[in-house]
Amino acid sequence: MLAVTLPVLALDNSVPPSGLPSAADYASQLLPDMHGVVSWKTLSQVEPVKQGNKMVPQFSRDIMGLDKKDVRVQGFIIPLDMGDKQKHFLLSAVPPHCPFCLPAGPDAIVEVLAMKPLAYGFEPIVVAGRFAVLKDDPAGVLYRMTDAEYVAAPSR
């Protein structure tokens, strides 16, 4: 019988004591601030609060000011449809890292319904559309953009 020695994996303790950055903080390292584009720092200004017997989102005034307005948001496409063109997708503050996982929490995701399908890629994009703040979505989505269209790829 042959004996096999497996390598011992060392625990990666390079995480700082303060913890990993929030999705908004991480996004600020990846995506440049762009004039006229809503930042993920703004969209992260939501807190869960207890209302009756359930938790509901409490949005900042900055976020509520975006409701039912035409806005621009930049991020990474997370496809929801099959194929290389996406009409219904999620836009995320951070790039996807697993095909079965969301890379961030609900404050770092915007559900997008585009007018025309957009080409899926791994680079960040900017989309413009009608923004909605969702206070009680059954799927837990906080933000939705409709009538969206591709605007640009952020310069790095």
DSSP 91-151: EESS----TTS-SS-GGGEEEEEEEEEEE--SS-EEEEEEEEE-SS-TT---EEEEEEEEE
Q: What number of other Cβ atoms are within 10 A of residue 83's Cβ?
A: 9
Number of domains making up the chain? 1
The residue-averaged pLDDT of 16-36 equals 78
- The band of 81, judged by pLDDT with boundaries at 50, 70 and 90, is confident
Q: How confident is the model at residue 152 (pLDDT cuts 50, 70, 90)?
A: confident
Higher pLDDT, 9 or 132: 132
The answer as to whether 101 is a domain residue is: yes
- Does residue 128 sit within a domain? yes
Whether residue 88 contacts residue 77, with contact meaning beta carbons closer than 8 Å, is answered with no
The answer to the question of residue 18 being in a domain is no
- State yes or no: pLDDT of 107 exceeds 80: yes
In a domain, 9, yes or no: no
Give the strand pairing for 46-51 and 54-59: antiparallel
Domain span at residue 145 reads 23-152
Answer yes or no: is 5 within a domain.
Answer: no
The fraction of the chain above a pLDDT of 70, given in percent, is: 85
Mean pLDDT, the chain, as a whole number?
A: 86
Question: Is 11 contained in some domain?
Answer: no
> ∠ at Cα 46 (130, 155), nearest 5°?
55
Q: What pLDDT sits at residue 110?
A: 97
- Domain assignment present for 123: yes
Query: Domain holding 147: CATH number?
Result: 2.40.50
CB distance 60 to 49 below 8 Å: no
Confidence of residue 12 (pLDDT cuts 50, 70, 90): low
- pLDDT of 143 reads 97
Q: Please check the confidence at residue 96 and state whether its pLDDT lies above 80.
A: yes
Let me know if residue 134 belongs to a domain.
Answer: yes
